[in-house]
Structure 1
Amino acid sequence: MHIILPFFLLMVAAIVLLNMWAAKLKIAYPILLVVGGLSVSFIPGLPLMKIDPDLIFFIFLPPLLFAATWSVSFKEMKKWWRIIGSFAFLVVFFTALSVALVTNYLIPGFTIALGFLLGGIVSPPDAISTGAITKFVKIPKSTSSVLEGESLLNDASSLIIFRFAMVAVGTGQFIWEEATLSFLWMVIGGVGIGLLLGWIFVQGHKRLPTDAPSDIALTLIEPYFMYWIAEQLHSSGVMAVVSGGLYMSARRLIFLDSTSRIRGQSVWESFVFILNGIVFLIIGLDLPEIIDGLHSKGISIGIAIGYGVLVTVVVIAARMISSYAALIATLIFRPGVIPHVPSRRRRWMLPLLLGWTGMRGVVSLAAALAIPVTLDNGPVFPYRSLILFITFVVILLTLLVQGLTLPYLIKHTRLFEGIFNEEAEELTRKKIKKELKQHVYQFLKTKYDNELDGHTGIEKLLRHWEERAKAADDSWMNEKTKIIFVELLESQRQYLSELNKDPSVDEDIIRLQLYQIDLEEERLKII
């Protein structure tokens, strides 16, 4: 313990320093994390960090998925559900199938089951890596919504493939009838369990006398409960966390107060950031043992790297093919839902962007590390070290090649030039603010009409609504005015929630306004 704990603290410090360096270089921090993980493997004398493969998913996946559900726009997911569903399920399966066929044909002794296992591991793109990279360039809302929605569901579909492949490798057989029923239970049961537990957790937050620290602590353990209970019932823990997280996210204004929402956002951002970094560094610490495993099987590093490059080409090609197939199918069957672009050339370049955003990351690493050392009946798990090594190569190459070139591709092809209308976005923000002011006035006139005249506090509240944060004197904010102020803020939240039902309104603008209202309420508490 006296060795592991300081080393763990050094890992966190290294993650923070790498993130700072990435910000200075203006590149995505997952790129430096994966390079840092590779560099760690060359440091002599480091302690071996062993984590039970059965615990990898349980430790890392639930909070990462849960955090993603709170940032994604469910309204946008519903708008683009067709393409999100096709990428999250059909494209993942096509990628896994492609990897399985190619590796079975080219890698000696590699069975179809092992190929599907590897395919399930490397098929899901990583949303955090993509988001970290695309923050340096501006992409259309429709594209970012597809990528965010896909990232939630493709983890579930790929891990279901992973689970079935593990069964096939362990038993040597695959029964389609049982697999189909199991798949349906995993999906439907996982969603049902997640929704039920999400409802229970929401009721608990509402009815128990919780404060901000206890609310945040509960949200940290709730995804683990969702995942564990679903897995105990032989359903999909991933689907449970995703569905439960989306349910709770949509009701965050109901069961969390402004303090819990503001503080919780900061806590979760730091927590997810550290988890991502630790996974990348763990694979670096495991690389010496992985390489020893390759040598013991008579596989040279050069050959293993060649296999990794091969699989990387396959997953990129499969995503490219799928992107263009999706566009062609949409043009034939649903031309009206294609995002507007200024020219035909740019329309045909859109799939290129979607295909090139397939960086792999934490989920693939966690899945690879979750492969057991031995099978249930005792023998060593076949090709485990090779699968781990190929996974690391795929992640490294997709992050370095695609990750470093994606911003350049977007900027220099002028793919989205003329698509963005910043003036329209600014007009939307101003329009919402103006409507909020009108709503404030109507709220006060309707509910406190008899008290407006002669009440200095309420008159000043209405007259100086925008300037109140700059006011040097807060003496006008008496207890009566505070009560009205809180009611007014809650009324604005309800108004914005109703406004968010309009498909044409950008949910990011709504969330920003809600965040500003939370800040206003927090300021009120210290007056």
Structure 2
Amino acid sequence: MVEHFHLYLAMMVAIVLLIMLANKLKIAYPVLLVVAGLLISIIPGVPVLHIDPEMIFIIFLPPLLYEAAWAISWKELWRWRRIIGSFAFVVVFLTALSVAFVANYFIPGFSLALGFLLGGIVSPPDAVSAGAILRFVKVPKRVSSILEGESLLNDASSLIIFRFALVAVATGQFIWYDAALSFVWMVIGGVGIGIVVGLIFMKAHKYLPTDPSMDIILTIVTPYAMYIAAEEVHSSGVLAVVSGGLLLSNKRHLFLSSASRLRGVNVWESLAFVLNGLVFLLIGLDLPEITDGLKTEGVAMNEAIGYGLIVTAVLIVTRILSAFGAVVTTLIMRNFITVADTRSPGLRGPFLLGWTGMRGVVSLAAALSIPVYISEGVPFPHRNLILFITFVVILVTLLLQGLTLPYLIKAIKLPSYYDDYGDEEAAEVLIRRELARSSLEYLSANHQQELKEHPMLEHMATKWREKSRDDSDPVMPVATRSIYLKVLDAQRKWLLERNKTDGHMDEDLIRKYLHHIDIEEEKIRHY
């Protein structure tokens, strides 16, 4: 680790530059990072980096899952719970099963247990890739919510399948009732431990004398505590982080101060940015180690690539068919239960959902975690081939689906009823008016006397009265916003100049007002 420290620093700089380029080219940055990693790995003199799977599972996975759980809307997750649950569990299982049969048929020496192991590895789509692509195109809220919700849960289901298949390959037997009990414990234990650890940290935030910096440190420790606690008792660490993260996200305003929330968002965005960038760059850099392993197994490169392409095709077709199958099931079940949307989605929506199946970090980490030996002196069968097939799946899905998805979204033109919510600008106007009215009602009901005695309160009440009028237009025009941002920039320059020229001015006070201007600028940019 220490001898490659300079390389990791260079990687950080490369990640920033590559993501800038990806934004400029309107390309999802995971695609560019993986390709860049591939190109860097073939440069003479670049040291071969060995990726420890524990590093990905322990260091990378918990915070990335936790950040995703905080970002997702619980309301949307609950609204689309049936289709999210079917994709995260049923579709993952069907995908793994399909890969198992195809691998058993086409790949010499591949048993059904090995095929199921490979299926568990490559079955979960990667949320980061889909999220990066959706930044460049506007999609209905339901589509992004389903993808985000699925990605939170499918990692857990695929890793559970992977564990069971790993045991079956290592022992040569599969006891279904033991597997069923283990599955129940992994799910219930993982969710329960996540909630319990989440409640403990919630109480720590609420009752300990913490400040924003301490709160942020505790939020960084939280997902690791959830994951490690669950894994120690052989339940699902992924489900622990997801369930605990959803709990704390939904209750964040009860135990975190506004300062902690404001600063925490910035810290977590930067942390997720760095971790995601490192993971995808490392995927590309790991190619030399994977190909060397393939040579030791005696499998020709063209054969291995062919197997990888076959498995990739199975993954794509199975997901698309599953998307249409989910629609048919929903249309049937709406006659018996309440569903989120009773209208037929047609062909375009399910196809789009089926095409968002890029693979990524979890698949690579699972493949790398396969032990080298089943027992002393007995190598794990086809380990290097499984690694190479996984790499091909990740690369092909990122390049094929990742590069074509933005054009597909623009081309298919989803039905208008996919927009589940009204006009965003009108909704903002309504929220601001109703907030102003509720503020006036609270002051009138609870602080009538103080309203008369304190001029500042009366000034605030006057502004709220103006905002609450039906004929007022609280939306700031674009031209006005542009001028106001220039005014704020002028204020910032004046403060910096005054700090430089006035030796008697306290710089802490200058920084305080600079912080106020930053907050105001952010408020105006999102007005």
TM-score (norm 1): 0.85
Alignment match, 1:286: 286
Alignment match, 1:240: 240
Alignment match, 1:105: 105
What residue identity is the alignment partner of 2:41?
S
What residue identity is the alignment partner of 2:403?
L
Encode CA deviations 1:230-255: one digit per residue, 9 max, x unaligned: 11111111111111111111111111
Matches within 5 A, 1:249-288: 249-288=249-288
Q: How far does residue 59 in structure 1 lie from its aligned partner after superposition?
A: 1.6
Whether the 8 Å CA contact 1:305–1:390 is kept in 2: the answer is: yes
What residue identity is the alignment partner of 1:410?
I
Whether the 8 Å CA contact 2:56–2:365 is kept in 1: the answer is: yes
Alignment match, 2:77: 77
Matches within 5 A, 1:315-354: 315-334=315-334, 337=339, 339=341, 347-354=346-353
Q: How far does residue 378 in structure 1 lie from its aligned partner after superposition?
A: 4.3
Whether the 8 Å CA contact 1:194–1:240 is kept in 2: the answer is: yes
Alignment match, 2:380: 381
What residue identity is the alignment partner of 1:221?
V
**C-alpha separation in 1, matches of 2:185 and 2:419:** 43
TM-score (norm 2): 0.85
Encode CA deviations 1:271-323: one digit per residue, 9 max, x unaligned: 12222222222233322121111111111111111111111100001101111
Matches within 5 A, 1:102-501: 102-334=102-334, 337=339, 339=341, 347-416=346-415, 419-420=418-419, 424-465=423-464
What residue identity is the alignment partner of 1:292?
D
Alignment match, 2:507: none
Encode CA deviations 1:2-42: one digit per residue, 9 max, x unaligned: 63111111111111111000000011111101111221221
**C-alpha separation in 2, matches of 1:61 and 1:216:** 18
Q: How far does residue 423 in structure 1 lie from its aligned partner after superposition?
A: 6.2
Gapped runs of 5+ residues in structure 1?
Answer: 473-515
**C-alpha separation in 1, matches of 2:255 and 2:68:** 19
**C-alpha separation in 2, matches of 1:443 and 1:126:** 46
Note closer, same or farther for the CA distance 1:17–1:358 as it changes in structure 2 (3 Å cut).
same
What residue identity is the alignment partner of 1:229?
A
Alignment match, 1:20: 20
Note closer, same or farther for the CA distance 1:197–1:422 as it changes in structure 2 (3 Å cut).
closer
Q: Identity rate of aligned residues, in percent?
A: 59
The 3-state SS of whatever aligns with 1:386 is helix
**C-alpha separation in 1, matches of 2:40 and 2:384:** 18
Note closer, same or farther for the CA distance 1:274–1:380 as it changes in structure 2 (3 Å cut).
farther
Whether the 8 Å CA contact 1:330–1:338 is kept in 2: the answer is: no
* Alignment RMSD: 2.4
Note closer, same or farther for the CA distance 1:422–1:326 as it changes in structure 2 (3 Å cut).
closer
**C-alpha separation in 1, matches of 2:418 and 2:325:** 23
Alignment match, 1:42: 42
Whether the 8 Å CA contact 1:187–1:235 is kept in 2: the answer is: yes
Whether the 8 Å CA contact 1:194–1:243 is kept in 2: the answer is: yes
Q: How far does residue 324 in structure 1 lie from its aligned partner after superposition?
A: 0.7
Note closer, same or farther for the CA distance 1:357–1:386 as it changes in structure 2 (3 Å cut).
same
Deviates more, 1:445-454 or 1:319-328: 445-454
Q: How far does residue 339 in structure 1 lie from its aligned partner after superposition?
A: 4.0
Q: How far does residue 340 in structure 1 lie from its aligned partner after superposition?
A: 7.3
Whether the 8 Å CA contact 1:37–1:284 is kept in 2: the answer is: yes
**C-alpha separation in 1, matches of 2:158 and 2:278:** 22
Deviates more, 1:379-388 or 1:411-420: 411-420
Q: How far does residue 353 in structure 1 lie from its aligned partner after superposition?
A: 0.7
Whether the 8 Å CA contact 1:279–1:366 is kept in 2: the answer is: no
Matches within 5 A, 1:500-511: none
What residue identity is the alignment partner of 1:268?
W
**C-alpha separation in 1, matches of 2:255 and 2:211:** 11
**C-alpha separation in 1, matches of 2:195 and 2:276:** 26
Encode CA deviations 1:104-133: one digit per residue, 9 max, x unaligned: 111011121221111111111111111111
What residue identity is the alignment partner of 1:393?
V
Whether the 8 Å CA contact 2:142–2:418 is kept in 1: the answer is: no
What residue identity is the alignment partner of 1:99?
V
**C-alpha separation in 2, matches of 1:96 and 1:2:** 39
Whether the 8 Å CA contact 2:22–2:32 is kept in 1: the answer is: yes
Whether the 8 Å CA contact 1:331–1:338 is kept in 2: the answer is: no
Whether the 8 Å CA contact 2:141–2:419 is kept in 1: the answer is: no
Encode CA deviations 1:129-160: one digit per residue, 9 max, x unaligned: 11111121111111211111111111110010
The 3-state SS of whatever aligns with 1:453 is helix
Encode CA deviations 1:316-350: one digit per residue, 9 max, x unaligned: 01101111111111111216736477xx7x62221
Q: How far does residue 426 in structure 1 lie from its aligned partner after superposition?
A: 2.1
Note closer, same or farther for the CA distance 1:419–1:76 as it changes in structure 2 (3 Å cut).
closer
Note closer, same or farther for the CA distance 1:378–1:182 as it changes in structure 2 (3 Å cut).
farther
Encode CA deviations 1:198-243: one digit per residue, 9 max, x unaligned: 0000000111111111111111111111111111111111111111
The 3-state SS of whatever aligns with 1:156 is helix
Q: How far does residue 370 in structure 1 lie from its aligned partner after superposition?
A: 2.1
Encode CA deviations 1:149-201: one digit per residue, 9 max, x unaligned: 11111111001011111111221211111000000000001111110000000
What residue identity is the alignment partner of 1:337?
V
**C-alpha separation in 2, matches of 1:141 and 1:331:** 21
The 3-state SS of whatever aligns with 2:110 is coil
Q: How far does residue 376 in structure 1 lie from its aligned partner after superposition?
A: 4.6
Gapped runs of 5+ residues in structure 2?
Answer: 468-473, 475-480, 489-515
Whether the 8 Å CA contact 2:31–2:399 is kept in 1: the answer is: yes
**C-alpha separation in 2, matches of 1:369 and 1:37:** 17
**C-alpha separation in 2, matches of 1:378 and 1:188:** 37
Deviates more, 1:33-42 or 1:303-312: 33-42
What residue identity is the alignment partner of 2:339?
V
The 3-state SS of whatever aligns with 1:347 is coil
User: Is 1:5 aligned to residue 5 of structure 2?
Assistant: yes
Alignment match, 1:92: 92
The 3-state SS of whatever aligns with 1:137 is coil
The 3-state SS of whatever aligns with 1:375 is strand
**C-alpha separation in 1, matches of 2:351 and 2:411:** 14
What residue identity is the alignment partner of 2:125?
P
Note closer, same or farther for the CA distance 1:188–1:461 as it changes in structure 2 (3 Å cut).
same
Deviates more, 1:308-317 or 1:161-170: 161-170
Encode CA deviations 1:387-440: one digit per residue, 9 max, x unaligned: 121111111111111111111112122224575488633222211111100011
Q: How far does residue 459 in structure 1 lie from its aligned partner after superposition?
A: 0.8
Note closer, same or farther for the CA distance 1:36–1:267 as it changes in structure 2 (3 Å cut).
same
**C-alpha separation in 2, matches of 1:198 and 1:372:** 32
**C-alpha separation in 1, matches of 2:418 and 2:179:** 45
Whether the 8 Å CA contact 2:320–2:354 is kept in 1: the answer is: yes
What residue identity is the alignment partner of 2:389?
I
What residue identity is the alignment partner of 1:63?
P
What residue identity is the alignment partner of 1:144?
S
**C-alpha separation in 2, matches of 1:403 and 1:55:** 26
Whether the 8 Å CA contact 1:60–1:366 is kept in 2: the answer is: no
